[in-house]
Structure formats: structure tokens, C-alpha cells
Amino acid sequence: MDAIPTLLLSAVAMTLIVGLRYLATSGLFAWLTTRRRPGAHAGLASQIRREIGWSLASAAIYGVPAGVVAWGWQHRGWTRIYADWQALPLWYLPLSVLLYLSAHDTWFYWTHRWLHAPRAFRLAHAVHHASRPPTAWAAMSFHPLEALTGAVVIPALVFLIPIHAAMLGLVLAIMTVMGVTNHMGWEMFPRALVHSRLGGWLITASHHQRHHDEYRCNYGLYFRVWDRLCGTDRGLSSC
Ligand SMILES: [Zn+2]
Ligand SMILES: [Zn+2]
């Protein structure tokens, strides 16, 4: 087959996958929220409709670069994604996941701080913060400009850092689940973990909730390292 049709097909398929993944994951956790916190979504119907609309637009912005890279991996041998478990030592498998999460976290922290500069906030990031309080549907509720800053990260990293295809799947699963659950307004992890020493370095719902409550703190994605280093960590909200 010609390159163009297969490339288009890959971009469309990836957009559908990202969109359906969003609907399934956010739908699941939104449903759990109504079970766990009855009334939490009361009066939020029009906000939730907006969150879903922006998120589905983001799905295309995430899906197209991902589709192009997936096509290049399959048809042109692009990227450093590998499929043979023996290609690199086994200890590298967890390390690669940590490298991806740390790199994404670093990119997110600094672009997120930039998005809170007055002009960038008005132009783009206000869309994400229009969710008050955010719900599980707000996971990808971004202005297209902000979605673009997020969409390039993993497609760029696969050219730089070797990763097994299954570990890449794990990274994407963590990204999806944390993106959704950090916005749902309640903590799904046990208190013993959230308030442990390890929990003090991890970002879960009550950390990101505080960002949505107070704006100028708690900018991180997965880890509290940058927030702590830069003095922007204000701890957890009471959710
Ligand atoms: Zn958020
Ligand atoms: Zn923000």
C-alpha cells in the first residue's frame, strides 16, 4: 500500500483509540465517583459536557502525532521501541518506565508553570481550570494549544529513550489512569500510601485537587520532586 493512505489510517485509528480510551476510563471513574460520592456531579452537567467536548478534540491532537509515529515504527523502522524481551537487560524494563515518567513529569511541570503566566493562562490554560471542581471527565479537557504541548512528549521520547513496547503500554496506562483519577475529587489510594514517605513524593488526587483549588502551587504530574525543589508544593487538599 502507498504511504499516504496507511499513514492517514494510522492517524485516524490512533485518534479513535485515544478517544475511546478516554471515554472508557473517564466513564468508569465518573461512575465510581457517583457511587462513592453521591451528588458530587450535581449541577455539573453543562461543565461535564464541555469537559467531554474539549477532551475529544484533544484526542485528535494526541492521536495524530501518535499515529504518525506508530506508522513510522511499523513501516519505516523509526523509534527506539523494541519488541524482543532479550534486546536489553531485564533490569532496564522498570528503569525505562521511570525514565519516561520522569521526563514527562519534567516537561509537564515547566510547561504547566508557563501556562500559568497571565497571557498563556488567558489564551489556553483557562479552559482546563474552567472545571470547578474538576471531574473525571476533565482528564483531557485542554485548549488545543495546551493539548499540543502534551501530545508531543511521548512521540518525541520514543525517538530518544529505548523502551519495550509492553513498557510503553504501561506508561500510557499510568498516564491515562492518573490523568483521570487526579481530577475526580477523591483519593482511590489507601491513606497509608498517600501519607507515607513514598506517598510524599507521588502525585495523587488530593495533590492535584489543591492545584485546582489554589492555582499557584502543585504543578507536577507524577512526582513532587520539581514542586519541592522549586518551593511550589503546598501539600495535599483534604479530599
Ligand atoms: Zn488538572
Ligand atoms: Zn494549572
Reported as a single tens digit per residue, the pLDDT across 189-210 is: 999 999 999 999 999 999 999 9
Handedness of CA 139, 128, 133, 224 (dihedral sign): positive
The answer to whether residue 222 scores a pLDDT higher than 90 is yes
Q: Are 134 and 33 in contact (CB under 8 A)?
A: no
Q: How far is the CA of 35 from the centre of ligand 1 (A)?
A: 22
Nearest ligand, CA of residue 232? 2
Buried-exposed string 17-46: b where 16+ CB fall within 10 A, e elsewhere: bbbebbeebbeebbeebeeeeeebbeebee
pTM, two decimals, is 0.95
The answer to whether residue 3 scores a pLDDT higher than 90 is no
Q: How far is the CA of 142 from the centre of ligand 2 (A)?
A: 10
CA atoms in the 13 A half-sphere facing the CB of 38: 0
Q: Are 234 and 218 in contact (CB under 8 A)?
A: yes
Reported as a single tens digit per residue, the pLDDT across 40-92 is: 999 999 999 999 999 999 999 999 999 999 999 999 999 999 999 999 999 99
Q: How far is the CA of 211 from the centre of ligand 2 (A)?
A: 7
Q: How far is the CA of 6 from the centre of ligand 2 (A)?
A: 37
Q: How far is the CA of 7 from the centre of ligand 1 (A)?
A: 32
Which pLDDT band holds residue 239 (cuts at 50, 70, 90)?
low
C-alpha–C-alpha distance, residues 78 and 159, integer Å:
7
Residue 2 is predicted with a pLDDT of: 82
Residue (of 57, 67, 69, 75) closest to 14 by Cα position = 67
Q: How far is the CA of 41 from the centre of ligand 1 (A)?
A: 17
CA 214 to chain centre: 20
And the C-alpha cell for 83?
519488541
Q: How far is the CA of 60 from the centre of ligand 1 (A)?
A: 19
Nearest ligand, CA of residue 51? 1
Contacts of 236 (CB under 8 A, 6+ apart): 194, 206, 207, 209, 210
Reported as a single tens digit per residue, the pLDDT across 116-171 is: 999 999 999 999 999 999 999 999 999 999 999 999 999 999 999 999 999 999 99
Q: How far is the CA of 236 from the centre of ligand 2 (A)?
A: 15
